[in-house]
Structure 1
Amino acid sequence: MKLNLFILSKLLILQCISAVYLQDFDFFYFVQQWPGAYCDTKQSCCYPKTGKPAADFSIHGLWPNYNDGSWPSNCNPDSVFDKSQISDIISNMEKDWPSLSCPSSNGMRFWSHEWEKHGTCAESELDQREYFEATLKLKQKVNLLRILKKAGIEPDDEFYTLNSITDAIKEGTGFTPGIECNRDSAHNSQLYQVYLCVDTSGSNLIECPLLPKSKCGEKVQFPKF
């Protein structure tokens, strides 16, 4: 009897741990960033060891979120980043998901951070390989630079209204984006990150249950890179 109770208690503990690690979530934020805005700040940036990235939006991450505005993070400390899981898509990762942080790196530290902080909270839906593959596929599906250029919005250091940027992306994707701005050394509001929402499968764009606060001015600079 005591042995059965011991086994039962162990099973209950394991179930509780699993429930904590594999938390449910409501949707993903798929976040792309403009490298010109990342680099055009007092903090500046460092190019990856592979060289200067293309003048294109790059992936920041795919982040599980709740409908109430909160989000899970670091859900499974035992699920560490394993580069062998993505060995055959490294070239795509380097192209579409480069790290611009300093010191210059090969991206592994950045991808490890994204998996361990955000990806582990999506393990109920996507394993590590699926998480990175799904994010790369979203990047191919959502070509922000082409969408904006089609609307006459170019990375030329000119200023565009926030509404025109939002409307262009909504027209191009079918969904309302969240726009995040940062400031350059002259304190100009500049286009930094674009948030779009994705269902829990990591495959389909959806209308966002809520959008992050933009912190943008009415007019936004689209800096060169």
Structure 2
Amino acid sequence: MLSKSIALLFLAGATVAQQFSQVCPITAPACSLQGSANTCCVAKDGWIVYAETWVPSVTPSNKFTIHGLWPDRCNGTWSDSGCDASRNYTSTGDIVKARNPDLFNLMNKIWQSSSGPNSDFWDHEWNKHGTCLTTIDPQCFVNYQKYDELIKYFEIVTAQHAKYDFYKALADEGIVPGANYTRSSMEAALNKNAGIRSLVRCDKTGTFTEVWAYFDILGQDTFLPRVPDYNPNDCQNLYYPPKTVKKC
């Protein structure tokens, strides 16, 4: 317990560098530049899926919350076990709280787990997906300090939540909780009002659960909307459930 306290005190007093070691010329999406040895500027897994979820029991009532940001290989496949086990971290909530309290507080609001502690959910998303984003590998930072890449990943993901308001994009087309809609109408609304190309997901009962937004990555952290590479036939008609929590 003492060693953990000392470690957290060290983190709290550390200066977060998080400065990229180079300026990357953006000449094309990463997947068109595959084979480059500079994986700090050309992501090895150059397709990005950014996912937000709609969980009726999770606040707020008029916002989606984050599921995660997943680097995919340029053929539409991905790693199921992460990309660097040496950087599989635990207690990421404690790490983020010590290094960036504002980010920690934000994540607790917009990146909640529907079952279990939030920090366990963040552990999973980082270990499985964050370790695959090569543009934030340790060697990509000036004066790298341990966990810089973890903090940067969470900052990048939460920035997408701030940029895109999926709830409003749907509501602007009259698509609001409590009724049935077609998948195509929801995806068209998200394209029109949020400027994303997306795939709407549902559970086995036909209840709306998530939006997956598809991007190419340019340079370190610039995302360009692209057509989804995955287009299943399910969820053609689905129910958009209201949240059971009070608006906040």
Q: Normalising by the residue count of structure 2, what TM-score does the alignment of the two structures yield?
A: 0.67
Looking at structure 1, the residues matched to 226 and 45 of structure 2 have their Cα atoms a distance apart, in angstroms, of: 16
Higher mean C-alpha displacement, 110-119 vs 69-78? 69-78
The ranges of structure 1 where at least 4 consecutive aligned residues each deviate by more than 6 angstroms after the TM superposition are none
Unaligned residue ranges in structure 2 (runs of 5+) = 1-38, 138-148, 244-248
TM superposition shift of 1:172:
1.3
Structure 1 contact 25–66 (Cα < 8 Å) conserved: yes
TM superposition shift of 1:214:
5.6
Looking at structure 2, the residues matched to 192 and 110 of structure 1 have their Cα atoms a distance apart, in angstroms, of: 17
Match of 2:223 in 1: 204
Instruction: Give the SS at the match of 1:91.
Output: helix
Deviations 1:10-56 (A, max 9, x none): xxxxxxxxx9xxx81111100011112xx6xxxxxxxxxxxx52122
TM superposition shift of 1:85:
4.5
Looking at structure 2, the residues matched to 151 and 163 of structure 1 have their Cα atoms a distance apart, in angstroms, of: 13
Structure 1 contact 134–203 (Cα < 8 Å) conserved: no
TM superposition shift of 1:138:
0.2
Structure 2 contact 180–240 (Cα < 8 Å) conserved: yes
Residues 148-187 of structure 1 mapped to structure 2, 5 A cutoff: 148-156=170-178, 158-183=179-204, 187=205
Looking at structure 1, the residues matched to 233 and 67 of structure 2 have their Cα atoms a distance apart, in angstroms, of: 16
CA 1:161 to 1:66, structure 2 compared with 1: closer, same or farther past 3 Å? same
Instruction: Give the SS at the match of 1:35.
Output: coil
Looking at structure 1, the residues matched to 224 and 160 of structure 2 have their Cα atoms a distance apart, in angstroms, of: 9
CA 1:199 to 1:122, structure 2 compared with 1: closer, same or farther past 3 Å? same
TM superposition shift of 1:84:
5.0
Match of 1:220 in 2: 238
Match of 1:122 in 2: 133
Aligned pair partner of 2:83 in 75, 86, 98:
75
Give aligned-pair identity as a percent: 26
Q: How many residues align?
A: 182
Instruction: Give the SS at the match of 2:135.
Output: coil
Looking at structure 2, the residues matched to 91 and 148 of structure 1 have their Cα atoms a distance apart, in angstroms, of: 27
TM superposition shift of 1:147:
0.7
CA 1:142 to 1:160, structure 2 compared with 1: closer, same or farther past 3 Å? same
CA 1:161 to 1:182, structure 2 compared with 1: closer, same or farther past 3 Å? same
Instruction: Compute the RMSD of aligned alpha carbons.
Output: 2.2
Aligned pair partner of 2:209 in 176, 179, 192:
192
Looking at structure 2, the residues matched to 111 and 192 of structure 1 have their Cα atoms a distance apart, in angstroms, of: 19
Structure 2 contact 197–225 (Cα < 8 Å) conserved: no
1:59 matched to 2:79? The reply is no
Structure 2 contact 199–228 (Cα < 8 Å) conserved: no
Looking at structure 2, the residues matched to 54 and 151 of structure 1 have their Cα atoms a distance apart, in angstroms, of: 20
1:113 matched to 2:121? The reply is no
Q: Normalising by the residue count of structure 1, what TM-score does the alignment of the two structures yield?
A: 0.73
1:30 matched to 2:50? The reply is yes
Aligned pair partner of 1:135 in 154, 157, 178:
157
Residues 77-96 of structure 1 mapped to structure 2, 5 A cutoff: 77-81=85-89, 82-83=92-93, 85-87=95-97, 88=101, 89-96=103-110
The structure that has the greater radius of gyration is 1
Structure 1 contact 62–118 (Cα < 8 Å) conserved: yes
Deviations 1:158-188 (A, max 9, x none): 10122211110010122321111113xxx3x
Instruction: Give the SS at the match of 1:199.
Output: strand
Instruction: Give the SS at the match of 2:87.
Output: coil
Structure 2 contact 82–132 (Cα < 8 Å) conserved: yes
Structure 1 contact 74–118 (Cα < 8 Å) conserved: yes
Structure 1 contact 25–64 (Cα < 8 Å) conserved: yes
